[in-house]
Structure 1
Amino acid sequence: MPDPFVSRSLDEIRFWSRIMKEHSFFLKLGFRCEDTQLINEANHFYATFEAIENRSLGFTVDSDPAVIRKFNEEVHSAASHIWAFKRKILGLILRCKLPGGTNFPLLVDHVSREANYFRNRLEELNLGRLDPLPDAIINENVFFLRIMADHAKFIGHLLDPSERQLVEQARNFSHDFDTLLYQAIDLSSMRPQSQTKPLLSQQLDENKVSVKSLRDFKKTARDLIEECRIKSIIHPLLADHVFREAERFLYIIDAFEASLNMNKQIV
């Protein structure tokens, strides 16, 4: 039987290394032409995570766990470095050191949160300290609901203002996911008393419906952008990027639902 540690590690690395690679590209697009040092650093991280992504594809679920544990350590180091790079950029923007750039502070904070999530997951896997199911459900939902709310805000700001209907849809999604996020935070603060199977199941059901709607909206926007049928400054790769992250959240929700139904200890 495949080792769950190996399969989980490879799944996380294959998904998130591509995300980190694309973050490097998006950040570079937002720098000014004179920010050559930052552009070079972004290019370095793009190459680093492209290499990691390619290496991950060379492993299988039957790979030696010791080899994968070492690989996780290497990737953790790279994720820590790109996190520090992103936080440096955020500091420069907030101190008005990059006037004229087009990277929103919230976007830079957003991508740094994802880098931190990635490196923490690798550390948890190597230490064998993954959250128990009730904690994992709440923590993952708090994290991803904020990510989805951010995406809606970015889409609304990057669409041309004349695309009034799409802009309004993005604003509505932003409001909806802010509300879901606050609900998830409330459930988190009520722990451990809130960690009952009915409440956790309801959270997953409610979030799944909204994430599916947002995923479909992102898919439509992505297809329209690729066909040059709407006005925006959204790069086609960014449109696909946020669509894949919604798909990832749905995949996680489905896995939680399956685990929750099998777990007899949660009442």
Structure 2
Amino acid sequence: MADSFVTQSLEEIRFWSRIMKEHSLFLKLGFRCEDTQLIQEANGFYSVFEQIEAKANALPLTTDPQQIRAFNTEVCTAASHIWVYKRKILGLILTCKLPGGNNFPLLVDHVSREANYFRNRLHELNEGQLEPLPDAIIDENVFFLKIMADHAKFIGHLLDPSERKLVEQARDFSHDFDQLLFQAQDLSSMRPQSQTTPLLTQFLDQNRVSVASLRDFKKAARDLIEACRIKSIIHPLLADHVYREAERFLHLIDLFEQRLAGAPAN
């Protein structure tokens, strides 16, 4: 159990600390030049999570669990601080105190949800209170389906309007994931009666198909952006960022399917 705790803690931190670091950069790029205080704070968070990421990558899987528990607490605090920062930005935008900026309110809400997810996951690991498998399957899918739906909307808005075919594809993905999210929320509201292996297996199978398709679309868009072959205001790192999150979701679906099939817990 100690080995599993260390492995999962480091894996979560390695993935999400990079995500938090990149969020700092994306928010910074969306501020106005006069928003010097917010830019300075973004730079500070970038540095904090860059150091966390480096430390997590340097720690071996043989690290003492007590050291990892202390590290989790440290990172959870950093995630809480960036969550507060992101919600502050959202409040400023929604009260029209940052006119002319380029951070969509939904994007700021989106990145704050991911910070909240990250800190909650580390707290659960430290407390040894991870959800039972049926609940985890539904709750993780509700979370990530919303993330994927948001991504499709962001891509559609950040592509140049003249990229009509790609914009249409992004809108189709947005609609598809909105529907999948509604279905997941319906399955959630039917708990515990809905938590049968056949229903959960079908749920994962259906989501896998759509997530894999969106992942492939993101990869194609990322490659086109990096090669300067399409017109957009999408930062190349943002294109790779959303691709990695789709890969993450597919990885979780794989793990859930293995567990439903009777594989040992991980």
TM range (shorter): over 0.9
SS for the counterpart of 1:3 is helix
The residue aligned with 2:194 is: 194
The residue aligned with 2:139 is: 139
* Percent of aligned pairs sharing the same letter: 77
The residue aligned with 2:83 is: 83
> Deviations for 1:212-251, whole angstroms, at most 9, x for unmatched residues?
0000000000000000000000000000000000000000
The residue aligned with 2:55 is: 55
SS for the counterpart of 2:261 is helix
Counterpart CA distance in 2 for 1:57 and 1:71 is 13
> Deviations for 1:61-86, whole angstroms, at most 9, x for unmatched residues?
11100000000000000000000000
Counterpart CA distance in 2 for 1:94 and 1:117 is 23
Are 2:178 and 1:178 aligned?
A: yes
The residue aligned with 1:241 is: 241
Counterpart CA distance in 1 for 2:46 and 2:144 is 24
> Deviations for 1:82-134, whole angstroms, at most 9, x for unmatched residues?
00000000000000000000000000000000000000000000000000000
* Runs of 4+ displaced beyond 4 Å: none
SS for the counterpart of 1:172 is helix
> 1:6-155 alignment to 2 at 5 Å?
6-155=6-155
Answer whether contact 1:10 1:56 (CA < 8 A) is retained: yes
> Deviations for 1:185-234, whole angstroms, at most 9, x for unmatched residues?
00000000000000000000000000000000000000000000000000
Counterpart CA distance in 1 for 2:122 and 2:139 is 16
> Deviations for 1:25-82, whole angstroms, at most 9, x for unmatched residues?
0000000000000000000000000000000011111110000000000000000000
SS for the counterpart of 2:200 is helix
Deviates more, 1:57-66 or 1:82-91: 57-66
Give 1:167 deviation, angstroms: 0.0
SS for the counterpart of 1:262 is coil
TM-score by length of 2: 0.98
> 1:159-170 alignment to 2 at 5 Å?
159-170=159-170
SS for the counterpart of 1:192 is coil
| CA distance 1:22–1:71, shift in 2 (3 Å) | same
TM-score by length of 1: 0.98
Answer whether contact 2:2 2:65 (CA < 8 A) is retained: no
Answer whether contact 2:152 2:170 (CA < 8 A) is retained: yes
The residue aligned with 1:258 is: 258
The residue aligned with 2:222 is: 222
Provide structure 2 residue ranges, at least 5 long, that are not aligned to the other structure: none
Counterpart CA distance in 1 for 2:15 and 2:203 is 25
Given residue 128 of structure 1, which amino acid in structure 2 is its aligned partner?
A: G
The residue aligned with 1:212 is: 212
Provide structure 1 residue ranges, at least 5 long, that are not aligned to the other structure: none
SS for the counterpart of 1:57 is helix
Given residue 108 of structure 2, which amino acid in structure 1 is its aligned partner?
A: V
